[in-house]
Amino acid sequence: MAGSAKVAGDRLRGVLDAVASMSSDLSLDGLLERILRQAGDLVDAESGFLDVLDRRSDRRIGSFAAYGIAGVVDNQHPGRQLLVTLLEQPAPQPGPDAGPEESRSAFIGVPVRIHDFLFGNLYLIGKRNGAGFSREDEELAAAVASAAGVVIENARLYEQGERQRLWLEAAAEITTALLSPISRPTALQLVADRARDVAASDFVALLMPRDASSLIVRAVSGMPPEGIVEETISTDRSIAGDAARLLQTIVVPDTELEPRYEAHKTPGWPDLGSLMVLPLRSSEDAGAMVVGWLKGHQTDRWELDPSVPQRFADQAALVLQVARAQEDQALLAVFEDRDRIGRDLHDLVIQRLFGIGLMLDNTTKLVSSPSAAVRLSSAIDDIDETIKDIRRTIFALGTSPDAKDLRSQIEHSVDHAAKLLGFRPEVRLTGPVDGVVSDVVREHLLAVVGETLSNIVRHAEASRVLLELDVSSEIDLRVGDDGRGLGAAKVGTGLRNIRQRAELLGGSCEIDSSPGGTMIHWTVPRRAT
């Protein structure tokens, strides 16, 4: 009797020692293997499994640990399917009248629970002495599994606390970045990189509003940006669109069960298995941050309370808004400086050149030599051209290099034609091009510019092209070349469309073509509607 009590006491101390060993490290990494080995040592088992049920199904195995069994590579083993079957068909327990020999078995299977939640199962196989496991062995294994549930829960809470701390530190880091000037693209990339690091995810994408019906990917982390950045995603029936529109965090444990995820599958978009979409709330239109894990990499991290990641996203939205305000302020400073330069050019340089031109013009009347008068007249013409160039420069100073204005759109059409011609057409823009051309006229004007340049590319065989647009009194467009003329293109639909566009706006179009070149003169009123 005393011997039995001693054995029971030794086993109890063994359980306590096992629990103490489990609790020595609150990191989930390696914890499952330590629990398994402690249980195996207590009951003298030859081998064992410990599985963690996949949260998406009670019939699937997620994490997996094993010892004493050959063939386990990267947590994969043929016995895993057997364990899934055992979950549905647990081994029969001996009856209350069973004898000592009948109560022994070669296999122990006990659940690992966290409160009322089934976390996984602990399996021990084969007693080392060959006698089989007794009921006491089963009770010890059950005691270890019960204690393991508490330890695992503590480890999970610890990991959640650490993850929340990292989210808060990341939010503080991106806020600190605002203490120094930062561009919006740099801020976007910083937010994406820090979110991926803290979430231990495979992929993060920041989607910002493009228009009322779509979002555009502005930054990615974890994947090459080619094929993803600048891609647009509809706000209709997409997860990111719903998160941005409803300002709600959306968690998707399994993308295969989420039909809205199809809207995100652009050509370069990665094949994600689980994801969390956080709205980027701001005073302007909201965007979205997609945090995802690739298929096969899903972890329990998606079970974390998204409230702390959402606070990071809210802070990130504020950072992006401030970064945009900084850019706007810097751009305003540039425009103010350009405005000052423009005033100086107009009030000082142009007036001085104009005065010099008048003086030279008066001087020509005092010169008796015809050749000298011709030279003075040529110098006056050069001064006039210089004044025009300076005025065009003044107008250009008031234009943002990134703005989709008429000036830049014309330049874009010219650049496209230059690739086909082999040389760049000369462009002369006179007057406040971006200020006086209405949206109605702009659409027709750009179409005429494109059509005239296209005709020159196809038919003219020109070596020089000049495009002049003067909006000083009316919309006056002249496009000329030194090619062989339009020939059969004179009756083409393109030229008819050019004339019709002018007539529609109350203007006119004159086309002068000869073997020495073509001149198209397109004129419409400034206030055409």
Containing structural domain, residue 143? 2-158
103 lies in the same domain as 171: no
Q: How far is CA 251 from CA 111, 162, 263, 302, 306, in A?
A: 28, 20, 16, 7, 8
Residues 23 and 110 in one domain: yes
My answer on whether 177 and 106 are in the same domain is no
Average pLDDT for the chain = 76
Q: Are 291 and 199 in contact (CB under 8 A)?
A: yes
Same domain, 426 and 487: yes
Provide the residue type at 211 as one letter: D
Domain membership flag for residue 344 = no
Segments of 295-425 assigned E as strands: none
Q: Domain end: 320, 339, 363, which one?
A: 320
* Cα(240)–Cα(289) distance, integer angstroms: 8
pLDDT, mean of residues 131-148: 82
Q: Which of 104, 123, 158 is the last residue of a domain?
A: 158
Domain CATH code at residue 407: 3.30.565.10
Do 266 and 151 lie in one domain? The reply is: no
Smallest Cα–Cα separation from 195: which of 312, 315, 305?
312
CA dihedral 107, 112, 118, 120 (to 10 degrees): -60
In a domain, 373, yes or no: no
Residue with tokens 């706000």: 235
The answer as to whether 376 is a domain residue is no
Distance of CA 112 to the CA centre of its chain: 41
Residue 244's CB: how many other CB atoms inside 10 A? 26
| Three-state DSSP class for residue 92 | coil
How far is residue 223 from each of residues 200, 269, 272, 275, measured CA to CA in Å?
14, 9, 12, 15
Terminal alpha carbon distance of the chain: 109
In a domain, 110, yes or no: yes
Percent of the chain with pLDDT over 90: 6
Q: What pLDDT shows up at residue 20?
A: 54
Tens digit of pLDDT for each residue in 239-275?
888 888 888 888 888 888 888 888 777 777 888 888 8
Of 320, 340, 360, the domain-final residue: 320
54 and 141 assigned to the same domain: yes
Q: How far is CA 381 from the centre of its chain?
A: 54
329-349: average pLDDT:
73
Are residues 134 and 276 part of one domain?
A: no
Assess if residue 197 is contained within a domain.
Answer: yes
Res 29: pLDDT? 56
- Supply the angle between the helices 135-176 and 2-22 in degrees, to the nearest 10: 20
Residues 205-244: pLDDT tens digits?
Answer: 988 888 778 888 888 998 888 778 888 888 888 888 888 8
Helix (H/G/I), strand (E/B), else coil: 365: coil
- The DSSP line for 396-423 is HHTS-TT---HHHHHHHHHHHHHHHHSS
Angle formed at CA 408 by CA 404 and CA 412, multiple of 5 degrees: 110
Residues 523 and 410 grouped into a single domain: yes
Q: What is the pLDDT of residue 298?
A: 57
Structural domain contains residue 181? yes
Q: Do 139 and 231 reside in the same domain of the chain?
A: no
Give yes or no: residues 82 and 213 share one domain.
no
Number of domains in the chain: 3
Residue 91 belongs to a domain = yes
Question: Average pLDDT, stretch 390-411?
Answer: 67
Asked if 178 and 209 sit in the same domain, the reply is yes
Q: Is 443 helix (H, G, I), strand (E, B) or coil?
A: helix
Residue 192 shares a structural domain with residue 140:
no
**Could you say which DSSP state residue 120 is in?**
E
CATH number at residue 52: 3.30.450.40
In this structure, the chain runs to a length of: 529
- Residue 339 resides in a domain: no
